[in-house]
Structure 1
Amino acid sequence: MSIETMNSTTAVPLGLSPVLIALRTCFVTIIAVLIICGNILVVAVTRRVTNLADSTKVLMTSLAVTDLLVGVSAVLSAVASALDRWPFGDVGCHFYAMFKTVAISMSILSVTCLNIERYIAVTRPFKFPLWCTRRRAITLVVVASIACLSCAPLPWIFAISPYYFEGSLLCFYSNTSIYLNLVFLLSCNVLPTLLMSCIYWHLIKISREHEQRLNRNGNNEANNNRDNKALKTFLVVTLTFAGCFFPFALVRVGRSLTGKLIPNWLQFLSSWLGTSNSMFNVWIYCLFNSSFREMAKKVISERFPCFNRSVAPAVA
């Protein structure tokens, strides 16, 4: 029986053992908790860190909020996993699919805007403070959010129904057209990744030339070092995003080519690799930005004083 012919609330359970259902539910719950907690931490730290431009802070916060929404949707999948069925009905499946689509679309736009901002920062360093202001960044985020929300009901208007994929525990719009899936794979993953990789390679070369020029002139290179770190950080964010969603897009193409159902384990791995992308950014920021890492430690120690306790040495 094809998934495309199933009603979202009548998907047949996979017949997993209670142990496997419990392990699956624990995995999905851990992913959801890490996404939610990690992105709340990103929002808190981004507001307080000082070595980032205001526009960068706005865009990082926007990306964290949209990733937080992905974490909220993962909580619903955890409930569906525990019950081994979709408990929220057809209407819930519609709203889940729209919610997920808006969150992913906003993530893509946020990553794109961060890349454009880094391009301006490196290629137009003197105009960057004038072009990329906090107010303009907020305006850009608001306009992008309105655009995504405006497009969200379109599948509903055109009677494109979402389906509950029991293998991946997700409600999503099903599309069996090989042409549309290939366009999705190329336009949303392969071509942007290749293009951004080439652009970043060029930007890194420019940044290194700036650094060498500053070293020869004996100028203060603090700002250039900051730009270098931000450049490398968002390059890793972009490549991680593309790498996490590539298997999901590839599975959709494979299903369209073969006309057969994808194994449930492959559906699960590809879908949750894409979802897990939303928890990786906090680790990337901490790994590549020492100021962000130190501020994260400070925020955690302030919110959870127990982590700050130490055992005093015994006095003889």
Structure 2
Amino acid sequence: MNSNLSAALCYESLNNSCPRIVYLLSLRISFYFLFTTIIILTVSGNLLVIFVILLSQNPLPAPTNHMILSLSVAGVLIGGLVLPNSMVRSIETCWYFGQILCEIHTTVDIVLCNTTVWHLTFISVDRYLAIFHPLHYRNLMTNKTGMAMISSSWSLALVFGFVIVISNPQVKIRGDLYKFCEGGCFSLHAREIGVEYSIIFYFIPVCTIITVYSRIFFVAQRHAKVIHSYNKGPKPSAPLTVKNLKATKTLAVVVGTFLFCWTPFFMCNLIDPLIGHSINTLLYESFMWVAYLNAMFNPLIYVLFYSWFRKTARVLLSKLFLQI
């Protein structure tokens, strides 16, 4: 046995207790510090995005603003509702909050992660319209259309989340059934539904996003040359196109970060059933936390790529600290 951990049970007095891995105290303290920092940055960063969008006159179109705002709301909820309990489960390797809260936590986890995927899918559609139909973009992408996309993102995620939880899946890890043991809450990590879950939740939307952005970047190169020629004369449509291209590149970084964070976890979901559910649980949990990091990275991207965001955030933070 590794000197950094030992095997035990979640409930020593129960025969049907789930197994537990006990990490060294120093390692557990380090993990708690790391995960708490991630939670604080996730919540505070997404709250900052929400306040900046609500209080600033930024150059992004209103529907795009609304989708980024809704995406940030999901980020706040992930950091505030999902990550704290996930932190305890990952570090203690047991669930001590009861079966009802397990079902609630699992549902909220799936819904919020799934709505992130759908938001990014609709954002890619928004960017597609902005690049391919710049003259008709305002007519095509109205506030009503944007709200319909946001509503669809949340509705699809809610339906999918409840379907998974209501289906009451059994969880098999290395051939052992973990559905009814005490101290377990493995629904989101269920390897028996991993393939279907991964394809529906991740790979179909991601293929859509990649296809859309591939076309966008191909056309963006041509638009950049046209914009350069437009800048030689007083063409009113050129500045709008420049802003659309810049917004598209920034939101493409958001999508790329999402792919970087979530792909390892879903690849495990696909591969694990093929190799007899032999992927190490610790590796699985590590990839899950890399995926959670996506909610923390999005606000950092806005800070790095949007000058208007940095200016507004600087003003808001300075006022906040002056009041304190």
Whole-angstrom CA distance in 1 between matches of 2:266 and 2:306: 31
State the SS of the aligned residue for 1:14: strand
Aligned match of 1:295 = 312
The letter of the residue matching 1:64 is S
State the SS of the aligned residue for 1:15: strand
State the SS of the aligned residue for 2:158: helix
Preserved contact between residue 106 and residue 165 of structure 2 (Cα < 8 Å): no
Aligned match of 1:215 = 231
Aligned match of 2:66 = 58
Preserved contact between residue 121 and residue 205 of structure 2 (Cα < 8 Å): no
Instruction: Quickly say closer, same or farther: Cα 1:64–1:302, change in 2 above 3 A.
Output: same
State the SS of the aligned residue for 2:188: strand
Matched, 1:98 2:107: yes
Preserved contact between residue 62 and residue 143 of structure 2 (Cα < 8 Å): yes
Whole-angstrom CA distance in 1 between matches of 2:67 and 2:302: 14
How many angstroms does 1:193 deviate by?
5.5
Residues 95-125 of structure 1 show CA distances to partners (whole Å, capped at 9, x for unaligned) of 1111111101111111111111111111111
Whole-angstrom CA distance in 1 between matches of 2:279 and 2:205: 21
Aligned match of 2:169 = 160
Whole-angstrom CA distance in 2 between matches of 1:198 and 1:140: 21
Instruction: Quickly say closer, same or farther: Cα 1:50–1:183, change in 2 above 3 A.
Output: closer
State the SS of the aligned residue for 1:85: coil
Matched, 1:130 2:139: yes
How many angstroms does 1:160 deviate by?
2.0
Whole-angstrom CA distance in 2 between matches of 1:235 and 1:142: 22
Matched, 1:115 2:124: yes
How many angstroms does 1:84 deviate by?
5.2
Instruction: Quickly say closer, same or farther: Cα 1:176–1:22, change in 2 above 3 A.
Output: same
Whole-angstrom CA distance in 2 between matches of 1:178 and 1:149: 18
Matched, 1:195 2:175: no
Residues 249-304 of structure 1 show CA distances to partners (whole Å, capped at 9, x for unaligned) of 11222321211432244223211110000111111111111111111111111222
TM-score by length of 1: 0.84
Residues 170-209 of structure 1 show CA distances to partners (whole Å, capped at 9, x for unaligned) of 75151336753674564354x3454244123224224313
Preserved contact between residue 119 and residue 203 of structure 1 (Cα < 8 Å): no
Number of paired residues? Answer: 296
Whole-angstrom CA distance in 2 between matches of 1:196 and 1:71: 29
1:22 aligns with one of 19, 29, 40: 29
Preserved contact between residue 118 and residue 205 of structure 2 (Cα < 8 Å): no
Whole-angstrom CA distance in 1 between matches of 2:309 and 2:88: 34
CA RMSD of aligned residues (A): 2.8
Matching of residues 1-316 of structure 1 within 5 Å? 10-47=17-54, 48-72=56-80, 73-81=82-90, 85-160=94-169, 172-176=188-192, 180=196, 183=199, 186-189=203-206, 191-192=207-208, 194-219=210-235, 221-305=238-322
Q: Which is further off, 24-33 or 151-160?
A: 151-160
Residues 194-239 of structure 1 show CA distances to partners (whole Å, capped at 9, x for unaligned) of 4244123224224313312312434354323211210110110111
Whole-angstrom CA distance in 2 between matches of 1:265 and 1:246: 17
Residues 7-46 of structure 1 show CA distances to partners (whole Å, capped at 9, x for unaligned) of 9x94322121111111111111111111111100011111
Q: Which is further off, 170-179 or 108-117?
A: 170-179
Aligned match of 1:4 = none
Preserved contact between residue 115 and residue 156 of structure 2 (Cα < 8 Å): no
TM-score by length of 2: 0.82
Preserved contact between residue 39 and residue 79 of structure 2 (Cα < 8 Å): yes
Whole-angstrom CA distance in 1 between matches of 2:67 and 2:111: 16
Q: Which is further off, 257-266 or 97-106?
A: 257-266
State the SS of the aligned residue for 1:207: helix
Whole-angstrom CA distance in 2 between matches of 1:289 and 1:170: 39
The letter of the residue matching 1:74 is L
Q: Structure 2: which 5+ residue stretches go unaligned?
A: 1-6, 8-13, 172-177, 180-184
Percent identity between the aligned chains?
22
Instruction: Quickly say closer, same or farther: Cα 1:258–1:161, change in 2 above 3 A.
Output: closer
